Structure 1
Amino acid sequence: MTDLLWARIRRALDRFHAAHPWDHNAHYHRWIMRQLPRRFGSALDVGSGSGDLARLLASRAGKVQGIDADPAIVARARELTAPDAAVSFTVGDALSETPPGPYDVITCVATIHHLPFSDALIGFRRHLAPGGTLVVVGVTRARTLGDHLLGAAAIPSNVAVAWYKNKGREAPRPVSMTAPTRPATMTFQDVVRDTRRALPGARFRRRLFWRYTLVWRQP
């Protein structure tokens, strides 16, 4: 495939997805819930965005705390959350300003690559209650042939899901975050290596749509 043809394909895909947006992170929310107990006392959602996952966690938890560095999206999360819901949102840095726990559940979706990775994992471990569960959905930088092949395999699925989720919708779905994003710098191999040092026994899985998942339970 020539560079010119590939560039044309990229532009066509960009136009398609601009007209058919969908939330790749919310796609994994139901999977996250399947990793958690049916009921738990408290949860912390790091990088909570507009609060979709925090409100979902509240269907099982006694109390949920969301934290995000972007004041605008935290304000939006508060607007979308019922006053009587057991959910609160804080503007702050996840490493230094997390409301004290401990928490039975900590979730972090597409946020950890914005933080010092090992420091974040150690912080999560410190805030997690004994027997608690940490679930991370993250993004990595493609480096190996396998990375690029998995990314290429996701393209047709991404188009199909985008078309299905937008079928019959007149206006694009609102985004769940507004803060500037930055590309991941760590590879999947880097993530596995550093996590094994900080959280022995963590379980990893590579996913479609340019994501990986990490689950760890506090002894």
Structure 2
Amino acid sequence: MHFIDWLNRFNATHPWSHNDFYGPWIVRQVRSRGARKVLDVGCGTGNLVARLIPWADSITGLEPHTATARIAAERFASNEAVEIRPEPFEQRDPGDRFEAITLVAVLHHLPLQASMKGLASALDSGGRLVIVGCYRESTRADRLVSFGALLLNPMMGLIKTLRDTPADREGMTAPTAPARESLAEIAAEAALFLPGARIRRRLFWRYSLVYDAPRRGALS
């Protein structure tokens, strides 16, 4: 059996969430900005929302997939600080502003340019946008990092499946889609609508983007 075939079979029997892997890092980005009013776009079953609860006064989760939104709403039904709305980001109240906005493996489901513009406008003064996203491989550097992830993935899968919980497994049932834009294309759009955004290629077929909105009255 070829090595890649073995990897595929092993990974299929030891699935783990590449998105949840970045949850602690995302929480640190939100906490370090002192954000208390948070919007999680495409919240899925609410694993990131659960991590954010101890650090936020108010969390709104948007999830357009009806069945997934229902799971999240039932999960946090007794928590008054959490509101789950079964709607896409495009249908949000345009008057709402948030001190932090998070997206995990969501932006590639949305129209890139319009979404970046909308996310910027939904941030409060000094608010922080934190994205962990998927990108289309297009360069040698992309493929090199992917090769490293390919080798590490089985090890992480073995560790994670020994420790996972029902919430972890349920979180991997949300709809998926292939990434359309390359990292260079994402960075080019960010330069237009999220000037100063910090973008990094990450392991496990992800990238991160952190953008801090200007504070009102700040000198340009």
- Tell me the TM-score normalized by structure 2: 0.89
Query: What is the DSSP-based 3-state SS (H/G/I as helix, E as strand, rest coil) of the residue aligned with 1:133?
Result: strand
1:156 CA displacement: 1.5
| Unmatched runs of 5 consecutive residues or more in structure 1 | none
Aligned pair partner of 2:6 in 4, 12, 20: 12
* Contact 2:17–2:172 under 8 Å retained in 1: no
* Contact 1:73–1:177 under 8 Å retained in 2: no
Aligned pair partner of 1:57 in 52, 57, 77: 52
* Contact 2:94–2:122 under 8 Å retained in 1: no
Higher helix share: 2
Given residue 34 of structure 1, which amino acid in structure 2 is its aligned partner? R
* Contact 2:42–2:88 under 8 Å retained in 1: no
* Contact 1:43–1:64 under 8 Å retained in 2: yes
| Unmatched runs of 5 consecutive residues or more in structure 2 | 215-220
Question: What is the correspondence of 1:87-126 to structure 2 with a 5 Å cutoff?
Answer: 87-98=82-93, 100-126=95-121
Q: List, as ranges, runs of 4+ consecutive aligned residues in structure 1 with deviation greater than 4 Å.
A: 168-173
Given residue 216 of structure 1, which amino acid in structure 2 is its aligned partner? Y
Change (3 A) 1:168 1:192: closer
Show the counterpart of 1:78. Answer: 73
Show the counterpart of 1:141. Answer: 136
Q: Cα RMSD over matched residues?
A: 2.1
* Contact 2:135–2:205 under 8 Å retained in 1: yes
Matched, 1:152 2:147: yes
Equivalents in 2 of 1:218, 1:107: separation in Å? 14
Equivalents in 2 of 1:201, 1:76: separation in Å? 36
Question: What is the correspondence of 1:136-215 to structure 2 with a 5 Å cutoff?
Answer: 136-167=131-162, 173-215=168-210
Equivalents in 2 of 1:137, 1:17: separation in Å? 22
* Contact 1:69–1:93 under 8 Å retained in 2: yes
Change (3 A) 1:114 1:170: closer
Aligned residue-pair number: 213
Query: What is the DSSP-based 3-state SS (H/G/I as helix, E as strand, rest coil) of the residue aligned with 2:192?
Result: helix
Question: What is the correspondence of 1:30-45 to structure 2 with a 5 Å cutoff?
Answer: 30-37=24-31, 39-45=34-40
Given residue 132 of structure 1, which amino acid in structure 2 is its aligned partner? G
Equivalents in 1 of 2:99, 2:168: separation in Å? 31
Change (3 A) 1:168 1:44: closer
